[in-house]
Amino acid sequence: MLKKSIFLFFIHVNGIIFYFQSLVKEVQLNKMNKIILIFTLLSVGFSTNNGNKNQLGEIAKKFEKNSNLIIEKAMNDSRGYDRLGEMLDTFGPRLSGSTNLEKTLEWILDEMKKDGLDNVHGEEVMVPKWVRGKESATMTAPWEKDLVILGLGGSVGTGPKGLKGEVFVVNSFDDLKSRASEAKGKIILYNVPFTTYGETVQYRYRGASEAAKVGGIASLIRSVGPYSMNTPHTGTSAYEDDVKKIPHAALTLEDAAMMGRMADRGLKIKVSLYMEGRSFGDVPSQNVMGEIIGSEFPDEVIVLGGHIDSWDAGQGAHDDGGGCVAAWEAVKIIKELGLKPKRTIRAVMWTNEENGLRGGNAYRDAHMDELDDHILAMESDAGVFKPSGFGFSGPDESLKILQDIGSLLYRIDSGIITKGGGGADIGPIMKEGVPGMGLKVDGSRYFWYHHTTADTFDKVDKDEFNRCVATMAVMAYVVADMDKRLPR
């Protein structure tokens, strides 16, 4: 019997990864060979575990027992995962200004109280309110097709009659500028393939004003994502002052790419567009939080969480309901194990990250005089996929300590702490000097779902979610309970 097998082993030694790949190829495996192979695998497996165990850092050694308790409990738990599902299914997506969001926040406060967390409360934040309303689009030439679209956050509507126009396809802002004379009176389509989020999101964020400057009557973007199953992606956008506000929406990757090909072939494309998007004045929302009060240094705080608001498409499962509930569950597990960390551990769910960052800013303002004693801020906002560790922004001295603590997480492959990282919501307090870290996860699927109707609970894997919980819980607990405070 011919078999080709690849065995990958990751062995971590003092923060350095040794990557072993053994390729057993085209080997005729008789019975004895199989036994030898299995024996070899087992011994490598054991030596890997023993190796890791022996390689615990100096700080980590003191926390091995409690850390293992946390990991066991998190990995065998289904309540955090179930709670995420309950939240998403009961209240739906949580756009700022929506009743869905406010109902979710009230429910979280009730549930945190039931968990017995300390100081459970909300802190009011005024947030912008934008409502999508109904929207639709049809390609009317060269043939007729209903288009799946998502208006971009903050977009104005088209008015009750909608608008019709010829589509002018461009590949970049430079392309638009160089052919500006052709753009007047047309619907501008930015058919820009995804490279990185930061690069491609520019067309979503400021595409409307750039299109309006050259006389466009509306602007469309190719959705910001590398892969699509006809799923448009929404997200925030902004208008420049003193530039006409025109409707701005995302097409699917498929439709945008098709129109790009049509334009290259010289076909005339026409689209009719109807959008009811509308902005209202600011409305109240809140950041919600609950904590375990530190047993020795209650004023010293480790804060962890995510943003509880989401876009209005899908359920905001990976972005960022999962991050919020995982951080909350991490704190709950530490509490249920009866561990009493020396410092306070606070789970925070920030509001209005998506289209305002008002929650992160309000938290900074409300806690400004406590920030000197905010020891570490941790955010999960890259989806609750399989975690590999954290990216950390702070002094190298602290990075070394966190890498030492990370060795406790080697057993679940999530102990790699790298330089540089954080999160949008903790950004404002990081600017005030609080060391920050972002949970790093397998990013291969995040932008498939991000800001689409497909960001739903079924996309969250329980084992991966639990690994996120365990990873955040161990890190938060050890930093909270170390003898020395983390230097900044």
Verify whether residue 182 is a known catalytic residue.
Answer: no
Nearer to Zn ion, 291 or 320 (CB): 320
Asked if 379 touches Zn ion (CB under 5 A), the answer is no
Nearer to Zn ion, 122 or 423 (CB): 423
Q: Which stretch binds Zn ion (CB under 5 A): 100-108, 235-243, 285-293, 313-321?
A: 313-321
Asked if 320 touches Zn ion (CB under 5 A), the answer is yes
- What φ, ψ does residue 423 adopt, rounded to 5°? -170, 160
Nearer to Zn ion, 186 or 318 (CB): 318
Nearer to Zn ion, 111 or 455 (CB): 455
What is the per-residue binding string for Zn ion in 128-167, x denoting contact by CB under 5 A?
A: ----------------------------------------
Q: Which stretch binds Zn ion (CB under 5 A): 53-61, 215-223, 278-286, 319-327?
A: 319-327
Residues 154 and 280: their CA atoms lie apart, in Å, by 10
Nearer to Zn ion, 276 or 381 (CB): 381
Q: Which stretch binds Zn ion (CB under 5 A): 111-119, 315-323, 386-394, 480-488?
A: 315-323
Q: How many CB atoms lie within 10 A of CB 397?
A: 10
Residue choice 379, 381, 464, 481 for contact with Zn ion (CB under 5 A): 381
Q: How many CB atoms lie within 10 A of CB 99?
A: 10
- Min separation Cβ 423 and Zn ion, Å: 9
Name which of 336, 332, 350 is nearest 291 in CA terms.
332
Q: Which stretch binds Zn ion (CB under 5 A): 108-116, 231-239, 248-256, 375-383?
A: 375-383
Name which of 314, 135, 276, 147 is nearest 222 in CA terms.
147
Residues 76 and 70: their CA atoms lie apart, in Å, by 10
Asked if 309 touches Zn ion (CB under 5 A), the answer is no
Q: How many CB atoms lie within 10 A of CB 366?
A: 13
Asked if 300 touches Zn ion (CB under 5 A), the answer is no
Asked if 319 touches Zn ion (CB under 5 A), the answer is yes
Residues ≥6 apart with Cβ < 8 Å to 203 = 173, 190, 192, 221, 222, 224
Compute how many residues bind Zn ion; rule: CB under 5 A.
3
Residue pair 122/288 in contact (Cβ under 8 Å)? The answer is: yes
- Min separation Cβ 234 and Zn ion, Å: 13
- Min separation Cβ 195 and Zn ion, Å: 20
- Min separation Cβ 351 and Zn ion, Å: 12
Q: Which stretch binds Zn ion (CB under 5 A): 146-154, 209-217, 318-326, 342-350?
A: 318-326
Please name every residue paired with 437 in a beta bridge, in sequence order, or none if there are none: 378, 392
Angle at 57 between CA 303 and CA 377, to 5 degrees: 10
Looking at 210, 353, 354, 464, which residue is catalytic? 353
- Min separation Cβ 316 and Zn ion, Å: 8
Angle at 316 between CA 315 and CA 317, to 5 degrees: 85
Residue pair 207/248 in contact (Cβ under 8 Å)? The answer is: yes
Nearer to Zn ion, 111 or 319 (CB): 319
Helix (H, G, I), strand (E, B) or coil at 138: strand
Nearer to Zn ion, 276 or 320 (CB): 320
What is the per-residue binding string for Zn ion in 5-44, x denoting contact by CB under 5 A?
A: ----------------------------------------
Residues 311 and 452: their CA atoms lie apart, in Å, by 8
- Min separation Cβ 352 and Zn ion, Å: 11
- What φ, ψ does residue 384 adopt, rounded to 5°? -100, 60
Residue pair 474/70 in contact (Cβ under 8 Å)? The answer is: yes
Name which of 124, 426, 466, 470 is nearest 304 in CA terms.
426
- Min separation Cβ 307 and Zn ion, Å: 6
Which stretches of the chain bind Zn ion, using CB under 5 A?
A: 319-320, 381
* Catalytic sites, residue numbers: 353
